[in-house]
Structure 1
Amino acid sequence: MKNFFRAVAVGAAITLAGCQSVSTTSSGTIGVQRQQQMVTMLSESEVNQMAAEAYRKALAKGKKDGTLNQNHKQLKQLRAIADRLVKQVGVFRMDALHWDWEVNLLTSQQLNAYCMPGGKIMFYTGILDELKLTDDEIAAIMGHEMAHALREHGREAMSHAYVQQLGFSAAAALLGAGRSAMQMADAVVNYGMTLPNSRTNEVEADLIGLELMARAGYDPHAAVTLWEKMSAAGGGSPPEFMSTHPAHNTRISGLRASIPKVRHLGGKD
């Protein structure tokens, strides 16, 4: 993942020409309307291509290690849930209906899952096994991660990294060669990788994910039970998934408060 963001950092800094205010998604019933600042020359297609390449490498490593898609029952379950969720993404952006969505499963004790830019989804068996997730709870995780991709939070994070952390001077610095240039790139990467997990972006992913799962016919109340399970998992050592997706009481309260907005869309009452 870090190499992916470094590639984005270097490529974007070279062509950096400014920012624009955009709205990556429609507001949906849930009402996410925030305008996002994006670096003009860091295009969605470039980020998606780099993400797809990073995903292919992850798949290749899984095949080599013998950890890719070993549990066929769980893989079938994940792909069936994804099929239902993907059918609903047009509510937020019609072009996402035509993304090359993909779901795979790695055998690992990690409690983790992600959706890369462009719709590349990965689950780890640990999060399914240890938390004993229901279909509805899996849909809550998957919808949340898909929402990050729909909102292009990764591209937004990199844009913020240039403008706020290093500014336009990063472009000139990265045009140079040697250790200093790579240190500059790493600084952008490390800063940018923290931004997708900001309070604002996490709330947006929670809300959009909640609507996606409800529209797909899953019980939105499962988003609450999921985060309750995540909060309880691991005792004093929170799992990796929680380290980037903190399950605070405010998050659970926010989800509970938002359920009445979406439960009539197709989910269970």
Structure 2
Amino acid sequence: MKRLLIPAAAACLLTACATSPTGRSQFMLISPESAIVESRTAYLSTVSDLDKQNKLSSDKALAKRVAEITGRLVTVAMQEYPRSADWEWSVAVIDDPKTVNAWCMAGGRMAVYTGLFEQLKLTDAEFAQIMGHEISHALANHTAERMSRAMATTLGVVAVGAMSDRPAVAMGGAAVAAKLALELPNSRTAELEADHLGMEIAVRAGYDPDAAVTLWEKMGSVGGGERPPEFLSTHPAPGNRQAALAAMANEARQLNPSGSKARVQPIQVLTADAQ
């Protein structure tokens, strides 16, 4: 068992690789396709639980706003990354005024929390920057990358368990991987990549890139430093992020100088009334 397991784990670690849309080499043990399949299962389970707990929003005006802005971004994503045209694009609107967060799983399954709007008083352009950033995580296969980091940790746990003849440690590897895949933040490299790609998507969709700077100014002021937004816990921000975004904005604006709006791609919006 020991002789077979450890070389197999090492082989996986040595041969798994991919390339992001920006040309960056990515460490992959989980294929993007597998990440989409696993994300679908997790997403449907999460939304079902939220519905049972009456935690999906019933705000029709907010749902319409989310659908319109996110729909424009999805139109651009599908144009620029044709493989995403077959994704099951959807967004759940979660009724949680205390949580400032949003995310997008592999395969285009998204969620936004009402706290984003209530606490940050977002403009349309600021919300577009958030969702462009989140969509970019999916387009750049960051979910698969994060799951792979978790799997690498698990392989280490399994190998240690096999070497020490501790079956319980080895058998617990899968559980560790699943937990870490949900909890690990994106790397700073992935964050900068999503900033860049997300701003481009938002600009092509017709939204002002300067909103990325004002968004992070608002994000930094929420909670007065006592209870930072959940968004910041999974989106590590280097100190020069706002300066970097401002520099990106000048270049990104040239992608759509007139600011013309993209068409709205119909997507599924999951709310209390939609269940």
- Short-chain TM bin: 0.7 to 0.9
Residues 104 and 74 of structure 1: is their aligned pair in 2 closer, same or farther, counting only changes over 3 Å? same
Alpha carbons of 1:136 and 1:168: their partners in 2 closer, same or farther (altered >3 Å)? same
| Bigger relative contact order, structure 1 or 2 (CA pairs below 8 A, ≥6 apart) | 2
Equivalences for 1:147-162 in 2 at 5 Å? Answer: 147-162=136-151
Measured after TM superposition, the shift of residue 158 of structure 1 is: 2.6
Asked whether the 8 Å contact 1:196–1:202 carries over to 2, the reply is no
Give the TM-score, by structure 1 length.
Answer: 0.81
- CA-CA distance at 1:86 after TM superposition: 0.9
Kept in 2, the 8 Å contact 1:16–1:168? The answer is: no
* CA 1:19–1:155: 2 relative to 1, 3 Å: farther
DSSP 3-state at the match of 2:202: helix
Aligned to 1:128: 117
Structure-1 separation of matches of 2:170 and 2:60: 44
Among candidates 23, 37, 51, match of residue 19 of structure 2: 23
Could you tell me whether the CA contact under 8 Å between 1:217 and 1:267 is conserved in 2?
A: no
Among residues 63, 88, 91, which one is paired with 2:51 in the alignment? 63
Tell me if the contact between 1:220 and 1:268 (Cα under 8 Å) persists in the aligned partners.
Answer: no
SS in 2 for 1:59: helix
Note if 1:87 corresponds to 2:75. Answer: yes
Deviation at 1:167, TM superposition (A): 5.0
| Counterpart contact for 1:216–1:267, Cα < 8 Å | no
Alpha carbons 1:218, 1:268 under 8 Å: kept: no
Aligned length: 246
Which 5+ residue runs of structure 1 have no aligned equivalent?
1-12, 26-31
- Whose Rg is larger? 2
Aligned residue identity for 1:48: I
Residues 203-241 of structure 1: CA deviation (Å, up to 9, x unaligned): 001111110100100000001100110001111221111
What is the TM-score with the length of structure 2 in the denominator?
Answer: 0.79
1 CA distance for matches of 2:257 and 2:57? 29
Structure 2 CA distance, aligned partners of 1:58 and 1:190?
15
Render the CA deviation track for 1:134-172: whole Å, top value 9, x for unaligned: 110110110111111111112112323444x45577479
Distance 1:53 1:232 in 2: 35
Per the alignment, in what secondary structure is the counterpart of residue 240 of structure 2?
helix
Task: Evaluate the alpha carbon distance shift between residue 253 and residue 152 of structure 1 in structure 2; reply closer, same or farther with a 3 A threshold.
Answer: same
Q: Which 5+ residue runs of structure 2 have no aligned equivalent?
A: 1-8, 260-275
- The letter of the residue matching 2:114 is T
User: Which of the residues 130, 137, 140 maps onto 2:126?
Assistant: 137
